[in-house]
Amino acid sequence: MPCGEFDLIRRYFTDRQKSRRDVIKSIGDDCALLKPINDQLLAVSTDTLVCGVHFFKDIPPHALGFKSLAVNLSDLAAMGATPSWVSLALTLPEIDEEWVSEFSDGFFKAADYYDIELIGGDMSSGPLSITLTVQGQVSQEQQLLRDGAQIGDWICVTGNLGDSALALESLYGRVDLPDDDRAALLKKHYYPTPRLLAGQKLRTIASSAIDLSDGLASDLTHIANQSNCMAVIDIDALPLSEALLRNTTHEQALKLALTGGEDYELCFTVSPQALGSVQSALKHTNTPFVCIGQMQHGEGISFQSNNKALDIDFKGFEHF
Amino acid sequence: MPCGEFDLIRRYFTDRQKSRRDVIKSIGDDCALLKPINDQLLAVSTDTLVCGVHFFKDIPPHALGFKSLAVNLSDLAAMGATPSWVSLALTLPEIDEEWVSEFSDGFFKAADYYDIELIGGDMSSGPLSITLTVQGQVSQEQQLLRDGAQIGDWICVTGNLGDSALALESLYGRVDLPDDDRAALLKKHYYPTPRLLAGQKLRTIASSAIDLSDGLASDLTHIANQSNCMAVIDIDALPLSEALLRNTTHEQALKLALTGGEDYELCFTVSPQALGSVQSALKHTNTPFVCIGQMQHGEGISFQSNNKALDIDFKGFEHF
């Protein structure tokens, strides 16, 4: 890329960031220099979004900028970490000033709101893709891991499940939605809410947590396997929005909620004794949540309805 | 990518890493958890390498794995930082087990040698590219920045310049090299030596430093501009290898040394009084270096030979 084009991009990113006091040196030297809080742990996560794989070529660039950061922040939320810094590697086939400007607006909408500072990165010429590395900080004694669930713990999720996946079906043209529902669902798909405050509150209360990116069935299996438990889900308790229920059959709604992915809600486990603390903590952060099941002896994940086991065939779920 | 292919890749990366004590949680949770040293600064750098832009499609995967980490470590070297952790985002068009195995061998050859641990990342399906984020640690009082050069400081470089660029000319088929020279130059191009120990030694001695990725003329201009000085280079003092001199005209050799790039040597400035300390420190790390000029009043970079100013036209340098 010629220098002038680099300068253009730098202007849209370098000049817009605000300055955290713990950023000693930002863009413009060989490395960024950062000052972590003594005795805290760093939480680090990397995500890549590739055009044509993770998003459509015609995705609104503002949405792409916001979402690329929000989904990575969701990983910090699942660790109970407080966001600090982010590096952005942006690979672009060409410099389209309007596109870069809108992408940058969306990116900084999330960065400013969640008080995370862009501290460096790389701009390259090539097929469109975005790689972010976010860093947060968390107390040494208060990590929210995947392997801490105990037999008897309740399984809970924040927000609703399946809305983002229904929006994706609409983008694929596989479902027709009324305009109002489509707009509301697309907003959830493009502008997910990383549950950062909820994660920080749950840090001292929950026994395990994960963020829901691949779909509850797949993500909760990680908690079950790493905690040596079986997750038993009451499918009648799954939190489904009115918009989802209005526009799908019951089976479709379940499929989207369990396997659709991209919810970016938190799934966590908590001992029955601590459930009251969860209710009080999440009320303070204005985060809706429900209990959807319990950890039992066994492995993997199983489903029930009206206290009867259900055999759900996820293979049949592969296409809408 | 189907799960099985992910597992294959994870096996080549997750199972091979050694364990630093400051890595509390590595691959397998939402984030890695790391324990920085109290009162030190983090140095963070991100680099993207895109197939067809930064490397040829047929680059030996072992070389690509090594080089992708080594060039990023070179940024840590220029800050005087000690390497700690690296995240790897690898985007692959297909899973070729032999390719992945060789890439991983090259990557870990560098990671193990320089004691940096792979702590996470992302594997995606898409056009071949690699994004690394490396992290190192450095004392708060001892940063090696680009803006510290003073009028009168000597300008020095480690190693030789231009060898990697001549190898690239050979890969483009624009120059014929004898087999021995070609092999030696390609080794420098594919397996650059990040000057980490030298950078750490220079931290308390040098007034500024940068690593040479784009070529001396371009990189040294950053030091000059950020330090409000003019860098005056004696072109007869440039460190040129026998292999470079044997296979190029004098003008070609200068062009490659000044603008070829990918040397991954350190360029640093030092006060005349501290030059003795540099000599002693770099002797201990077995790092060759020479003085190639001096910082003077003015701006940008200028060149002289036999005490006469030279007007070098870099535009004429664009093609070999």
Rounded to two decimals, the ipTM of the complex is 0.90
B10 in contact with A, Cβ within 8 Å: no
Cα(A235)–Cα(A302) distance, integer angstroms: 10
Q: Which residue's entry shows tokens 């701009």? A: A123
CB-based contact B136 A31, cutoff 8 Å: yes
Q: What is the pLDDT of residues B84-117, one digit of tens each?
A: 999 999 999 988 889 999 999 999 999 999 999 9
At A57 the three-state DSSP class reads coil
Chain A residues within 8 A of B34 when measuring between CB atoms: 41-42, 44
Nearest CA in chain A to B122: A47
Contacts (Cβ under 8 Å, ≥6 apart) of A206: A144, A268, A269, A270, A274, A278
Contact B196, B114 (CB under 8 A): yes
Asked if B31 and A76 come within 8 Å (Cβ–Cβ), the reply is yes
- Of B97, B89, B96, whose CA–CA distance to B118 is shortest? B89
Of A73, A62, A83, which is closest to residue A12 (Cα–Cα)? A62
Beta-strand runs (E) in A180-229: 208-211
Residues 6+ apart with CB under 8 A from B184: B243
CB contact under 8 A, B89 and A44: no
Q: Which residues of B touch A26 (CB under 8 A)?
A: none
CATH code of the region B154-308: 3.90.650.10
Contacts of B143 in chain A (CB under 8 A): 24-25, 33
Which residues of chain B make contact with A28, given a CB cutoff of 8 A? 146, 226
- Torsion, CA A29, CA B318, CA B265, CA B207, rounded to 10: -50
- A3-139 domain in CATH 3.30.420.10? no
pTM: 0.91
At residue A253, does pLDDT exceed 50? Answer: yes
Residue A38 to residue B39, Cβ atoms within 8 A: yes
From first to last of its 320 residues, what are the pLDDT tens digits of chain B? Answer: 454 556 777 788 877 766 789 998 887 778 899 999 999 999 999 999 999 999 999 999 999 999 999 999 999 999 999 999 999 999 999 888 899 999 999 999 999 999 999 998 888 889 999 999 999 999 987 778 888 899 999 999 999 999 999 999 999 999 999 999 999 999 999 999 999 999 999 999 999 999 999 999 999 999 999 999 999 999 999 999 999 999 999 989 999 999 999 999 999 999 999 999 999 999 999 999 999 999 999 999 999 988 888 887 665 444 34
Q: Which residue has the tokens 């540099």?
A: B278
Instruction: Answer whether A136 sits within 8 Å of B85, measured CB to CB.
Output: no
Q: Give the start-to-end residue ranges of the domains of chain A.
A: 3-139, 154-317
Cβ–Cβ below 8 Å for B79 and A143: no
Domain A154-317 annotated CATH 3.40.1080.10:
no
User: Residue A135's closest chain B neighbor by CA?
Assistant: B31
Kindly tell me the sign of the dihedral angle through the C-alpha atoms of A233, A236, A237, A243. Answer: positive
How much of chain A, in percent, has pLDDT values that exceed 90? Answer: 77
Q: Which amino acid type is present at position B41? A: L
Q: Contacts of residue B211 in chain A, CB cutoff 8 Å?
A: 30
Helix (H) or strand (E) holding B68: helix B61-78
Q: Residue B108 and residue B96: Cα distance in Å, rounded?
A: 18
CB A1 within 8 A of CB A96: no
Distance CA A284, CA A281 (A): 5
A3's enclosing H/E stretch is helix A3-13
